[in-house]
């Protein structure tokens, strides 16, 4: 991204709340919240992944949001060496995910 040129983006507030721990007595954490941006409408992306029927609704939302949050960081930091080895495999994975056919009720 060129300095001084802002990328058009959707803005979001992400909130993570600890609902339960695997072991009784383990401490829970206070909720965390942060603001972030994405060049895509995340609600539309979640709906698309959910509509494929490959996963239950919560799993599909987790997959979509996790990927979109992670890849937006990669996009905004594309020159960072940390991402050099995974940029192409990530693109390939996302193309494969997009190409997945919608599962019909009969297939479930």
In CATH terms, the fold of domain 10-102 is Ubiquitin-like (UB roll) (3.10.20)
Convert the pLDDT of each residue in 40-67 to its tens digit. Answer: 999 999 999 999 999 999 999 999 999 9
Q: Which residues, listed in sequence order, are joined to residue 35 by a DSSP beta bridge?
A: 13
Q: Classify 4 in phi/psi space as left (phi over 0), alpha (psi -120 to 50) or beta.
A: left
Domain boundaries, the chain: 10-102
The continuous run of DSSP H or E covering 6 comes out as none
Its pTM stands at: 0.81
* Three-state SS annotation for 21-48: CCCCCCCCCCCEEEEEEECCCHHHHHHH
Give the model confidence (pLDDT) of 62-84 as tens digits.
999 999 999 999 999 999 999 99
Q: Which residues are CB-contacts of 62 (< 8 A; sequence separation ≥ 6)?
A: none
């Amino acid at each position: 991204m060129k300095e001084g040129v802002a990328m058009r983006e959707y803005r979001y507030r992400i909130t993570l709340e600890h609902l339960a721990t695997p072991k009784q007595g383990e401490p829970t954490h206070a909720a965390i919240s942060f603001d972030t941006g994405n060049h895509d409408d995340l609600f539309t992306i979640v709906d698309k992944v959910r509509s494929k029927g490959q996963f239950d609704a919560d799993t599909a939302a987790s997959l979509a949001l996790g990927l979109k949050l992670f890849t937006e960081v990669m996009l905004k930091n594309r020159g960072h060496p940390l991402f050099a080895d995974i940029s192409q495999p990530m693109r390939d994975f996302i193309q494969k995910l997009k190409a997945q056919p919608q599962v019909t009720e009969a297939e479930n």
